[in-house]
Amino acid sequence: FVLFVEKMQQMGVPIWGVSVQNEPEAAQAWESCLYTAEEEKIFIRDHLGPALEKRGMQGVKVLIWDHNRDGMFERAALTYADPEAAKYIWGMCFHWYGDPRYESWPPRAEVPYLDRQNSEKRIFELRGCAGFENVRRVADLRPDKHLLFTEGCQELGGRPLSQVMGDWKLGERYAMNIINDLNGG
């Protein structure tokens, strides 16, 4: 990390912050690392934080998690509980993925209802964990730390872009996420 920041700065590219690992709980097909909360905390406390400090780079912000909202509170609670690690951490990054209304992989529940306004037609509500409440929980846990939304895109699921152009559900998803995140913290 330190060498990367130094080299980028030498090339005229200022680096204001780094996240330890994008999606630390996702086993990817490309180069990445898996970090538990404990491992990420230890890495920051014993290695990254002191290395940045030793090189006079205390202004480079360190961000944890950089993954979905559903697990962010547990990660923050464990990591921030260690004052030696927390002193190096500027805040937490998070992504919007995990809402089963838009993605095929997260767990979900279909709750059936009878539509009383439409001849008791059978309908269902799709429920899952978008994790909006976790943004507020983390903000309340450590109001001195920052929250930064870092990733959110709509996967096309093999469909051509032309097939989803003009689909306002995608725009509604962006708006719903932005509004909920701003309200959360």
Rounded-to-5 percentages of helix, strand, coil across the chain: 40, 20, 40
pLDDT in the model for residue 59: 95
pLDDT in the model for residue 106: 78
pLDDT in the model for residue 109: 80
Q: Does residue 73 contact residue 138 with C-beta atoms inside 8 Å?
A: yes
Spell out the SS3 assignment of 88-129. Answer: CEEEEEEECCCCCCCCCCCCCEEEEEEECCCCCEEEEEEECC
d(CA 40, CA 21): 9
d(CA 74, CA 133): 12
pLDDT in the model for residue 19: 96
Average pLDDT for consecutive 10-residue bins of the chain (185 residues)?
Answer: 95 96 89 92 98 96 96 96 98 90 78 89 81 94 97 84 87 90 90
pLDDT in the model for residue 33: 87
Q: Does residue 37 contact residue 67 with C-beta atoms inside 8 Å?
A: no
Indicate the DSSP class of residue 20.
Answer: S
pTM of the model: 0.86
**What single-letter amino acid sits at 64?**
I
Strands annotated E in 109-185: 109-115, 121-127, 146-151
d(CA 76, CA 92): 8
